[in-house]
């Protein structure tokens, strides 16, 4: 499937992904040692919710619009990050993962971004100007391995591909296995769509067989029942998630589920240890 960021900016999958990234980074920053943050598929960095791509799908209405209207204090950090790129109070722009990460950088942290698509890479450089982020325009999986182990004591790799290529999951699996051999203590977050149930179960089994001790799957299902062939939601694999993050998840996931619940279906957000 093709999941270019611009067409889906601010949708329900973005809300879950970015809320969890904020919580993950905050948990990692409980320790003072420096972090290197690497985003392998960074996209444009910021998106115009009134632009042609976002308007064509209208998905923000069921995502960021709902989340911003929800007063649950557990979503306050997400609200603040979105508001930070909308200075006039209007919800016109949506920050991509690079901007969420950049807002949380400490002085000792570093941010490395990669975007292979040349048009998006150029937009990313403009969106990240003044943040101190390093921007690369290379194959995502080459960058992932080339940057490991990180120069700082700890790090986080965010892998968020559009799933345009039929072998995307295989490349992620192979690269993760190589990355773990180089950087076994590192934290990785891998985003994925939930569409083909059989493919997804086989992928989980492949990841389980890698022998990585800790892989947590958090999945946001839009419907109470699986809809064959439909976009059923999205999830994230977290490799080596910190304890403080996993302990914070149950109430945060319920807050997200309640904020994003469609009118006729409650949906659900699940967490499951693929490997533990």
Structural tokens at position 37:
């943050």
The residue from 48, 160, 205, 224 that is catalytic is 160
Q: CB atoms < 10 A from the CB of 130, how many? A: 7
C-beta contacts of 227-233 below 8 A and 24+ residues apart: 228/197, 229/195, 230/195, 231/1, 231/193, 231/194, 231/195, 232/194, 232/195, 232/197, 233/12, 233/13, 233/193, 233/194, 233/267
Find out whether 193 and 236 touch, Cβ atoms under 8 Å.
no
Q: Helix 12-28 crosses helix 76-83 at what angle (to 10 degrees)?
A: 110
Q: How far is CA 262 from CA 43, 55, 191, 250, 252, in A?
A: 27, 19, 22, 20, 18
Phi, psi of 258 (to 5 degrees): -65, -40
CA 136 to chain CA centroid, nearest Å: 19
Strands (E), 6-153: 35-39, 46-48, 93-95, 110-114, 134-136
For the question of residue 196 being annotated catalytic, the response is: no
- Cα 138 from Cα 136, distance rounded (Å): 6
Question: Which residues make Cβ contacts (< 8 Å) with residue 89, sequence separation at least 6?
Answer: 83
**Which residues belong to the active site?**
160
């Amino acid at each position: 499937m093709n999941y270019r960021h611009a067409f889906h900016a601010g949708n329900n999958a973005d809300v879950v992904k970015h809320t969890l990234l904020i919580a993950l980074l905050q948990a990692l920053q409980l320790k003072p040692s420096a972090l290197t943050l690497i985003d392998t598929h960074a996209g444009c960095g910021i998106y115009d919710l009134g632009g042609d791509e976002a308007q064509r799908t209208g998905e923000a209405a069921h995502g960021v619009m709902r989340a911003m209207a929800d007063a649950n204090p557990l979503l306050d950090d997400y609200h603040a990050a979105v508001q930070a790129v909308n200075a006039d109070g209007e919800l016109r722009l949506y920050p991509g993962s690079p901007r969420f990460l950049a807002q949380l950088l400490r002085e000792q942290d570093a941010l490395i971004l990669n975007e292979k698509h040349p048009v998006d890479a150029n937009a990313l450089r403009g969106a990240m100007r003044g943040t101190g982020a390093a921007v690369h325009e290379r194959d995502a999986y080459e960058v992932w391995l080339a940057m490991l182990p990180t120069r700082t004591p700890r790090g986080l790799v965010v892998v968020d591909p559009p799933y345009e290529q039929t072998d995307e999951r295989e490349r992620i699996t192979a690269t993760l296995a190589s990355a773990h051999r180089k950087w076994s203590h590192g934290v990785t977050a891998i985003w994925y769509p939930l569409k083909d149930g059989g493919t997804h179960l086989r992928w989980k089994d492949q990841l389980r067989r890698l022998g990585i001790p800790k892989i947590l799957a958090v999945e946001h299902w839009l419907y109470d029942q699986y809809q064959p062939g439909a976009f059923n939601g999205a999830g994230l694999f977290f490799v080596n998630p910190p304890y403080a993050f996993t302990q914070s998840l149950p109430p945060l996931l319920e807050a997200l589920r309640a904020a994003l619940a469609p009118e006729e279906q409650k949906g659900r957000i699940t967490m499951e240890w693929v490997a533990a």
